[in-house]
Structure 1
Amino acid sequence: MNKELVEKIKSNPDYQKLISTRNSFAVKLSIMMLTVYFLFILLIAFNPSFLGTPLSNGSVTTIGIPVGMGIIIFAIVLTGIYTKRANGEFDDLSNSVKNSIKEH
């Protein structure tokens, strides 16, 4: 790819919007996931008996199992949210940049 084309792409307002929007969104989702994960780790560190509490009398399943599954489901949901937005808004901006470069 030649430098002129690279500079055209970098100066395109849709490209700049794509980069800033995508990065901002990715950082927000990452912070959400890290917060949930570290809260789980802090719970393990400071109150492990809570996660070891059975769900009901005589049950072998503890509270930790659904909490752990909830964290996994939360990660899957965040991935789905990112994928939906990437396949919509981010792809539209990317296609806009490609089309504007082809026209020039």
Structure 2
Amino acid sequence: MGATKAVTDATFEAEVLKSSKPVIVDYWAEWCGPCRMIAPVLEEIASEYGEKIDVVKLNVDENPAIAQRYQILAIPTLNVFQNGEVVKQIKGAKPKAALLKDLAEFI
């Protein structure tokens, strides 16, 4: 991981809920093919728009409490948090252009 950062059940509140800027949370797992496909795209978005938005990754196998709290039933799922609240949810792997369109209001 480069521009994206891993979060855990333990660090989620500090890194995501208390962040001063919007945060994209990528819910993923090692065995998930589409998750691996979207990872480099999220890395690029984090590099290009890091001053406006943070991109973090939460492994749902290793951190089930947060995944359950936000009812993540399928991965990859991206939640955009702003001021501690989910303001947008994006499900499934999408190409970069589609993701940027979905995220335009935050970046």
TM tier, shorter chain? Answer: under 0.3
Larger Rg: 1
Of Structure 1 and Structure 2, which has the larger fraction of its residues in helix? 1
Task: Normalising by structure 1, report the TM-score.
Answer: 0.22
The structure whose residues are more often strand, as a share, is 2
TM-score of the two chains, using structure 2 as the length reference: 0.21
